[in-house]
Amino acid sequence: MRVTKTIRMEQIRVLEETYRGAKPELQFRNPFELLIAVMLSAQCTDKRVNVVTKRLFQVADTPAEILALGLPRLEEEIRDCGLYHSKAKHILSACQMLCEEYHGEVPNDFEALQKLPGVGRKTANVVTSVAFGRPAIAVDTHVFRVSNRLKLATGTTPLEVEKGLMAIIPKEKWAEAHHWLIWHGRRLCKARKPLCTECPLQAVCPSAEPLVSGTCGNTKKKNRK
């Protein structure tokens, strides 16, 4: 299938129709809690992060309070989140910078966010979009996978995919589209066994030919044997 601009616009339409109103699964009450939750989400499910942050924020929910915990206590609070040694160090360093340079508040500037220890482009985009309502597309593993499979935006790096999505999706829909792609990746376009026959995008997805569930992108190769 040759993916034209018309097909890409149809993909966007179907995604919007299917996942309209989709929201983040991470639970948070303010920009700081969102920042910490996203930092903890690396190689960890949102469900697990919500368990960890619920426990952590009952003990400390401001940069100063988390700094007061110290490294050993913070590691203990987040140890079931995976990679907790490095995450704890980054969180403490970020909290220290927030206290020293931003009066304990999360900056609403994208570049400033990226200067925080442990905060990369994806995390900065999530906070920018979700917490501050600015147009942004955060490319996580789901967004990267779905975008490449659909050829909605292709690339070998998250930044390449992000730029491709920004070029094809109307700016006013960037923040929403991020959630459409995430939910599609979680529910249907899964990494190992995509549910192609259940997918509302199967007619406009180049990776779903032939339309056999669980064989996206691999069926043609198997049929040649």
State yes or no: pLDDT of 212 exceeds 50.
no
224 pLDDT more than 90: no
Query: What rounded mean pLDDT belongs to the chain?
Result: 91
pLDDT at residue 214 in the model:
47
Percent pLDDT > 70 in the chain is 92
pLDDT of 209 strictly over 90: no
Distance CA 98, CA 139 (A): 25
Q: Which of 23, 87, 140, 222 is catalytic?
A: 140
Distance CA 18, CA 201 (A): 10
Cα distances from 13 to residues 141, 154, 180, 189, 220, in angstroms, run: 22, 18, 11, 17, 28
- pLDDT of 79-121, one tens digit each? 999 899 999 999 999 999 999 999 999 999 999 999 999 999 9
Burial of 72: CB neighbours in 10 Å, binned 0-12, 13-18, 19+: exposed
CA distance linking residue 124 with residue 101, whole number of Å: 17
pTM for the full predicted model: 0.86
> 6-44, pLDDT tens digit by residue?
999 999 999 999 999 998 899 999 999 999 999 999 889
Q: Verify whether residue 122 is a known catalytic residue.
A: yes
Residue 208: band (very low, low, confident or very high) from pLDDT cuts 50, 70, 90:
confident
Catalytic residue (choose from 47, 54, 122, 171): 122
Dist. CA 66–CA 45, nearest whole Å: 22
- What is the model's pLDDT at position 82? 86
d(C-alpha 12, C-alpha 205), whole Å: 12
What pLDDT is recorded for position 43?
87
Summarize the confidence of residues 153-169 as an average pLDDT: 97
DSSP letter string, 121-181: HHHHHHIIIIIT--------HHHHHHHHHHTSS--SSHHHHHHHHHHHS-GGGHHHHHHHH
Comparing C-alpha atoms, which of 146, 168, 170, 171 is closest to residue 158?
A: 146
Say if residue 55's pLDDT is above 90. yes
Residue whose tokens read 């996203």: 38
